[in-house]
Amino acid sequence: MRRWVWLGAVVLLVAAVAAACGGGGQQGGGQPSGTPEGSAVTVMEKEWTIQFSSSTMKPGKVKLLIKNEGTIEHNFVIEGTNVDLEAIPPGSTKEVTVDLKPGTYNVLCTIAGHSEAGMKTTITVAQ
């Protein structure tokens, strides 16, 4: 009989500790989608692709870190914005801050033949 009382007490103690330590996450079921305003988004360029760490962003100022991980020079253009970075040498990173409005933007490398070879993508800006 004493064994059952002790076992019940241990189970209750473990449950109480687990309840006290749990939680701490965001309410509402997890991480918000997109990027918070003012955050940095990494963009990787290489032959023949452009990849964003997040292709959905929230409106507002976003810092972009564009890394040329390829073996040849690339550039970086977001159509419909003032972002037009020339000459990003292999192994280099350039930074630009852009104020994005809601919508869909085409992103590409405008060096001859690069976008045709696949160096283009789109990003979505939404609430």
- Answer for the pair 74, 88: CB distance below 8 angstroms, yes or no: yes
Q: Which residue has the higher pLDDT, 2 or 100?
A: 100
Percent of the chain with pLDDT over 70: 69
Phi, psi of 125 (to 5 degrees): -115, 120
State the pTM of this model: 0.70
If one looks up domain 40-125 in CATH, what number appears? Answer: 2.60.40.420
Q: Under the phi-then-psi rule, with left for phi > 0, alpha for psi from -120 to 50, and beta for the rest, what region is 121? A: beta
CB count, 10 Å around CB of 112? 7
Q: Per residue in 65-117, pLDDT tens?
A: 999 999 999 999 999 999 999 999 999 999 999 999 999 999 999 999 999 99
Burial pattern 14-35, b for ≥16 Cβ within 10 A else e, equals: eeeeeeeeeeeeeeeeeeeebb
Where exactly are the structural domains of the chain?
A: 40-125
pLDDT tier, 15 (very low <50, low <70, confident <90, very high otherwise)? very low
